[in-house]
Structures are given as C-alpha cells and as structure tokens.
A and B are shown apart, each in its own frame.
Chain A
C-alpha cells in the first residue's frame, strides 16, 4: 500500500511566522503535490513537483514556496503566515507512469494562523 504521511495533523501559528509543512511518501513516486482544501471550494493545487528539485506553480501559489531535495520528501513553506492561509493542507503523490492520474493523499494538516 502507498503511504503518504504529513508531519503534523494540527498546527497553530501566529501571523508572520515561517511555517514548514512536510510530506513523505514511501513508494518512490516521482510526482508530488500540495493542495489546500477550504469549505465549499474543493481542493486547489498550490504547487507540484515532477521530480527531485523540480517544481511548478499550481493554481494558487501566492504566499507559498516548496522544496524537494529528496524524492520521498516534499515541503510546503509559508514564508510569512497570514490568517487567510488558515486551511486544511493535503499532500499527494503519484507514479509518473500512472495512466489514470491516480494520486494518493496524506491525512492532511489543519493549519490555523492566529
């Protein structure tokens, strides 16, 4: 079974803090994704990574950056957290050859910015 883990289930930070969300997958998947999920809006893609050290912006990259130094690990960084970044953050991974574009999700991190 594919396992995608995220470093924290719940996180509370203050406005202006630098926040790191980490995601690790154990299936040697090339592609990894960061989404945020807000009520009534569905999942929205923040960033994705084709492979190590490769990244591309998704639909809502403003206020976020990412890092992928190792294949199994994909980090989402909030340089200066703001209250409108309070959300559920979901990481996903996918094998490059997936013909069905099947993405496997982690359990999520619920971030609250005060």
Chain B
C-alpha cells in the first residue's frame, strides 16, 4: 500500500535554531517527492520538488534531501524564523498515476522567540 509517514508529528524550536523534518514513503513506482508548507488556515504552498535522480534541492533556508534507495526524505530548515511556524507536508507522486498524490499527515513546527 502506498503510504507516506512523517516525523515528528510536532516540533518546537527557538528562533534562529536549525531543524530537520523526516519523511519515509513506500510509494512505488516513484515519480517525485514534494515538500509543502501550510500556514495555519491556508492552503499548502510548494517548497521543493525532487525526482528520482535528485538528492538535494534548496529553496532559500529550506534544503530537501532524497534517498531513493531507502525511500527517505528530509527537510532541513536553517536559522529558523517565526514565519517558519507552519505545517510541513511531504507529498509523493507515483508514476502509474496521472493525478494522484499521496500525502503525509504533516509535521507541525512552532518557532518561538
């Protein structure tokens, strides 16, 4: 069964600190993996997307990694800011589906001053 699992469920860090969020997936055949940021009461917004051949991709202070062999991805946030407080959702797309996305349940991050 295609699944995406994220950890931790929630995380609290101090402003300025770094953190890493984890995503494990069992989706096959794999097409791509995307990290979304969802602010409270808002829709998800794409941060990064990675295909099978990519193992690192950055977007400002956000760096995503992908290990297609172990089917793991991580999202590293550097020098956190209060505006990073949000839910981060890992989403995987399978090659055999033209439209379907498999969503993780998200990690809720709170950055405190």
Contact = CB atoms under 8 A, between A and B. Distances in A.
Interface stretch (A14-22, A62-70, A76-84, A104-112): A104-112
A9 B104 contact: no
Contact of B103 (A42, A100, A110): A42
A41 interface: yes
Contact of A101 (B42, B99, B105): B99
B43 A105 contact: yes
Contacts of A92: 43
Given A100-B93, A102-B49, A40 B99 contact: no
A40 B104 CA distance: 9
Contacts of B104: 42
Contacts of A41: 105
A101 B106 CA distance: 19
Interface string B95-109: 001111101111000
B31 A105 contact: no
B12 interface: no
B113 interface: no
Given A4-B43, A31-B99, A101 B31 contact: yes
- Grouping DSSP codes into helix (H, G, I), strand (E, B) and loop, the A interface class, with mixed when no group exceeds half, is strand
Interface string A40-61: 1111110010000000000000
Contacts of B93: 100-101
A107 B45 CA distance: 10
Contacts of B45: 105
Contacts of A106: 43
Contacts of B99: 31, 33, 48, 94, 101
A4 B31 CA distance: 25
